[in-house]
Amino acid sequence: MKVLVIGSGGREHALAWKLSKSKEVEQVFIAPGNAGTALVGTNVEIGVNDFEKLAEFAQSEEIGLTVVGPEDPLVNGIVDFFQERGLQIFGPGKKAAIIEGSKIFTRDLLQKYGIPSAEYKAFTGAEEAKAYLHEKGAPIVAKADGLAAGKGVIVCETFEEAEKAIGQILIEKEFGEAGNRLVLEEKLLGEEVSYMVFSDGKTIKPMVSSQDHKPAFDNDKGPNTGGMGAYSPAPVVTGELEVEVLETIMQPTIDAMRKEGKEYKGVLYAGLMITKQGPKVLEFNCRFGDPETQAILPRLDSDLLPILQSCMGKTLSEQEVKWSSRACCCVVMASGGYPGKYEKGKGIFGLGEAAKLPATVVFHAGTRQEASKVLSNGGRVLGVTALGDTIKESIANSYRAVDLIKFEGAYFRKDIGQKALNREN
């Protein structure tokens, strides 16, 4: 079978890498891909939101399954577009992808079905939002309602920060149309984890737990990013807690979406806060996480292809999903200045040496090939990933590979996985 992966980041490299290992996959195409995806498949110069060209390519190449990486095309309805043309595609349809497309929809859904989450209120006007802020005070979290590339969430520790955030989102339109509406919600206290499940609309199968690192700098300082690294498993998610997450959050959400006429097939990703009162939902995403996928897929012992097919064919209950007991760590190497302004086109050196290390994979995110050179081409450039028998060993293996890779202005956090080590000590 031929498979098409849509996207150009580290998550898509990880998906293409894993699918290329399937005995049932003869060829992997990635649209548009990056310098790393070209090592495991064939890049195709088509943008992720060019549905017409993507569908034409899938038909002409007789693609057996298309796998969508980023949220934009999912929220914009690519699954419906493909299915109307008789093409097999993995991911939720437009009606279901609203779970990421609108934070207000999701908050309302969680409240309606009694799924644990934060207290919140939605606004379209800055004055009403500020009045609510006066009532509630800080700390508080301000969120743009729509898609903002993982950056539309501002955690406000002070009243002044919250006032500024309301202005940034609703008045200055820093996040464009995503900020036409605003959510102000209670700041939940605890440890944050990422939890993903496969869903066929009724049955769910959990992936292993992971923990992302959103802030740009060590010790969770600085502005939020798309994610500076991840590790799996997250020790904070005990066996008992995992059962609670599945029974009080993940399965009820899939059931709620079905009851609302928005059957959810694909990957449901929950950003959770483990509070003293138990796990609560911070956000839902309608796709594989990035960089969590880079830390999770190397631990998947099963063939990924039949799992994805069973989600779309509503036969997930028949699938056995096996995971390795080994740990995995992904350290993101970013361009200097990210998530603000940064320069592209920096030569990357040491990739070959890093790839030779045992149990190590360097997933490319913002890269491009120019002749024999690999150049930086985005904010998050690489996801340097390694397995280990323990979390401590996987972290050490990842940083060993990071030390071999150089490009001008390269920046990375030096404390990825530290929360896990603190919990083990």
398 with 378, same domain? yes
Please report where in the chains the tokens 């993507």 appear, as a residue: 54
For residue 140, give both structure tokens.
């508080």
CATH code assigned at 214: 3.30.470.20
- 380, 34 contact by CB (below 8 A): no
The strand pairing partners of 156, in sequence order, are: 140
134 with 232, same domain? no
Amino acid type, 66: T
Cα(136)–Cα(185) distance, rounded to whole angstroms?
A: 10
The strand pairing partners of 123, in sequence order, are: 182
Cα(67)–Cα(267) distance, rounded to whole angstroms?
A: 11
| 162-195 pLDDT tens trace | 999 999 999 989 898 888 999 999 999 999 999 9
406 with 366, same domain? yes
339 with 406, same domain? yes
Please report where in the chains the tokens 């996987």 appear, as a residue: 394
Cα(311)–Cα(264) distance, rounded to whole angstroms?
A: 10
Domain boundary among 112, 145, 180: 180
| Domain range for 76 | 2-91
pTM of the complete model: 0.94
Amino acid type, 48: V
Residue 338 banded pLDDT, cuts 50, 70, 90: very high
Residue 150 scores a pLDDT above 70: no
**Domain membership flag for residue 175:** yes
Q: How many domains does the chain have?
A: 4
Cα(138)–Cα(156) distance, rounded to whole angstroms?
A: 7
| 364-405 pLDDT tens trace | 999 999 999 999 999 999 999 999 999 999 999 999 999 999
174 with 269, same domain? no
Cα(286)–Cα(75) distance, rounded to whole angstroms?
A: 8
For residue 21, give both structure tokens.
């290992």
- 10-20 and 304-312 are packed helices; what angle lies between their axes, rounded to 10 degrees? 100
Residue 271 banded pLDDT, cuts 50, 70, 90: very high
